């Protein structure tokens, strides 16, 4: 009789201990989930990825285009999570330095493509999206605000004329609305882009 009573008390103690551990785990898990979606955490993750992209753009190598495309997809997901969390802070790369001076000069010697009427610029550049909302617009590290550019996706022959509204870490970044008008479904990078002054 005494053994059965002791065994029952032991089972109750084990069950109670398990409940405490499970409750603690849930509390920790919930806390981590909320912290992961805090604006401060999302903003830091976004800035880290933008810094990586800016560094690749300043010091490109044979794999930079693929790395940038992958990181841009991560940036897009973070921007979606920031929008869901109601984050409104402007986040940019810490040091979006312009490329070497020789790079902006190269487009001047490149003849304009027959598809457009304007001066071709940013030869060889790929185009991604900035993740910013609003009416179709672009940002650039080579052109001042107010510059009008025509961006054509050579792979599907869709183009859009946008106005530069601010700086970025590359020749041209389209905001969400502009990118949607020229992108191919499921792609976050325009590898063959024709960029002209409009």
Looking at the 3D structure of the chain, how many domains does it have? 1
Judge whether 170 lies within some domain: yes
Phi, psi of 171, rounded to the nearest 5 degrees: -60, -50
- For residue 71, being part of any structural domain is answered with no
- CATH classification at residue 111: 2.40.40.10
- Is beta strand 148-153 parallel, antiparallel or unpaired with respect to 173-174? unpaired
Would you say residue 195 lies in a domain? yes
Convert the pLDDT of each residue in 26-65 to its tens digit: 333 333 344 447 888 888 888 888 888 888 888 888 887 8
* pLDDT of amino acid 148: 94
1, part of any domain: no
What stretches of 37-132 show up as alpha helix (H) in DSSP? 39-58, 64-85, 102-105
SS3 87: coil
Domain contains 86: no
Residue at 88 is within a domain = no
168 belongs to a structural domain: yes
Give Cα 24 to chain centroid, integer Å.
35
- State pLDDT tens for residues 128-187: 888 888 999 999 988 999 999 999 999 999 999 999 998 988 889 999 999 999 999 888
The token duo for 123 is: 């030869």
> 185 is in which domain, residue-wise?
99-198
Decide if 142 is inside a domain: yes
């Amino acid at each position: 009789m005494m053994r059965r009573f002791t065994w029952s008390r032991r089972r109750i103690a084990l069950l109670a201990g398990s409940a405490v551990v499970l409750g603690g785990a849930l509390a920790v898990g919930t806390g981590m989930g909320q912290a992961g979606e805090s604006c401060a955490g999302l903003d830091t993750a976004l800035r880290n990825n933008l810094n990586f992209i800016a560094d690749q753009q300043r010091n490109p190598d044979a794999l930079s285009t693929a790395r940038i495309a992958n990181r841009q997809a991560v940036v897009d997901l973070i921007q979606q999570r920031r929008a869901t969390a109601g984050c409104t802070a402007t986040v940019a790369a810490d040091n979006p330095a312009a490329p070497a001076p020789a790079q902006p000069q190269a487009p001047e010697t490149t003849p304009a493509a027959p598809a457009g009427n304007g001066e071709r610029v940013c030869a060889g550049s790929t185009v991604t999206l900035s993740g910013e909302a609003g009416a179709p617009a672009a940002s650039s590290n080579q052109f001042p605000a107010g510059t009008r550019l025509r961006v054509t996706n050579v792979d599907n022959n869709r183009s859009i004329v946008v106005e530069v509204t601010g700086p970025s870490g590359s020749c041209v970044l389209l905001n969400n609305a502009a990118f949607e008008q020229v992108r191919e479904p499921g792609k976050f990078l325009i590898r063959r882009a024709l960029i002209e002054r409009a």
